[in-house]
Structure 1
Amino acid sequence: MMIRPEKPADVEAIHSLTREAFKDHPYSDGTEHFIVDRLRNAGALSLSLVAEVQGEVVGHVAFSPVEFSDGSAGWFGLGPVSVLPSQQGKGIGGALIRRGLEILRERRAAGCVVVGNPELYRKFAFQNDPQITFADCAPQYFLVQPLSSTPASGIVTYNAAFYGGVDG
């Protein structure tokens, strides 16, 4: 498996695999592929990595900037993370997340936030922090990972692409 930055030729594959990855997911509204498209179109897809196996794009992870009510800068939101259903359970999603966090550290990002399964994301050093909240989410499902010693607190807002329509 090779993890690399997204290329223009990957856009269609990313759209398709993201749609397939979330098609039957119990906590999905089925719009994740449109979110990735809107992030890209808005210039807010700060980091977009694909996992390739034998020349086929089988996984994708997106990182986009988030805003804090206290003005903290340099924070990113993780997600969506997508792996083709036939390739799930092979560590592809985890490898994408680890590589993305590594790149954010190299870029001296302040931190990363994620909405998701706490058991899964704690494996990547995400944790709950009562000082950092997300209004649209139960607190146990909103996790953070500081990547620097710069403190942050307040309410997090994701890019508008997460709240748009489904027209991509």
Structure 2
Amino acid sequence: MNGFHPAAGVSVRAVEAADHAAIATVVDTAFAAAAHADGTEAALVAELRAAGGIACEWVAVEGTAPVGHIAFSAVTLDGRDCNWFGLAPLAVAPAYQGRGIGARLVRTGLAALQARGAGGCVVLGEPAYYARFGFAALPVLVCAWPVPPQYFQALAWQPLACAGIVRYHPLFGSV
């Protein structure tokens, strides 16, 4: 920590249309140095929005300026809609990273999904980071993409009614 407390000046709220351009900048800068990024993350968010593929999204703002963003979209489990969602992407502007903003975005988004009765959520990400929210590898859920299994994690809020291959919105991987 660098002395900044996220509650001091940074709040989390639902995304508004006026936030879209600034969110694209946050996503671009957050993923610019990431080894796993391909530079299409901001375009993916815009395409998902345009296609109605984002189930919910949240923005962290300092004053009125977006400094972080998270989106969730529906996923299918073995080809079926089981009321599960995928967390992607999570982005925090580099100058704001390491201050708990990403964690606040994740907790806010997960609470919103739970409140709407979601069965669970999956994420493709760093196991040590996402474990703090309850995510863990579930062998009965397999990512459609070839990834090391420990990086594909799930958080179930209801007993699993579906299992098998998890597929994200078709725009993932095509933008």
Which interval holds the TM-score relative to the shorter structure?
over 0.9
- Structure 2 match to 1:146: 156
Q: Distance in 1 between matches of 2:129 and 2:75?
A: 21
Alignment correspondent of 1:15: 24
State the SS of the aligned residue for 1:62.
strand
Using the alignment, how far apart are the partners of 2:144 and 2:73 within structure 1? 18
Mapped partners of 1:70, 1:30: distance in 2 = 28
Q: Is the 8 A contact 1:66 1:156 kept in 2?
A: yes
* Residue 5 (structure 2) aligns with: none
Task: Give me the whole-angstrom Cα distance separating, in 2, the residues matched to 1:127 and 1:72.
Answer: 21
Paired residue secondary structure (2:162):
coil
Q: Read off the aligned partner of 2:162 and give its amino acid letter.
A: A
- Normalised by the length of structure 1, the TM-score is 0.94
Counterpart of 2:54 (choices 45, 55, 61) is 45
1:24-103, aligned counterparts within 5 Å?
24-69=33-78, 71-103=80-112
SS at match of 1:112: strand
**1:113 aligned to 2:122?**
yes
Alpha-carbon distance in structure 2 between the residues aligned to 1:86 and 1:138: 30
Question: Please, which runs of 5 or more residues in structure 1 have no aligned partner?
Answer: none
TM-score (normalizing by structure 2): 0.91
Counterpart of 1:44, as a letter, is G
Following superposition, the deviation at residue 55 of structure 1 comes to: 1.8
Instruction: Measure, in 2, the Cα distance between the counterparts of 1:121 and 1:70.
Output: 25
Q: Secondary structure at the match of 2:52?
A: coil
Check the 8 A contact 1:70/1:152 in 2, yes or no.
Answer: no
- How far the C-alpha of 1:127 sits from its partner, in A, is 0.5
Q: Which runs of 4+ in 1 moved over 6 A?
A: none
Structure 1 residues 95 and 12, CA, compared in 2 at 3 Å: closer, same or farther? same
Distance 2:92 2:77 in 1: 29
Contact 2:82 2:161 in 1 (8 A): no
Q: Deviations over 1:80-109 (max 9, x none)?
A: 001000110000000000010000010000
Q: How many residues align?
A: 165
Shift of 1:70: 5.7
Q: Offset at 1:116?
A: 0.5
Identity of aligned residues (%): 39
What CA RMSD, in Å, does the superposition of the two structures yield over aligned residues?
1.1
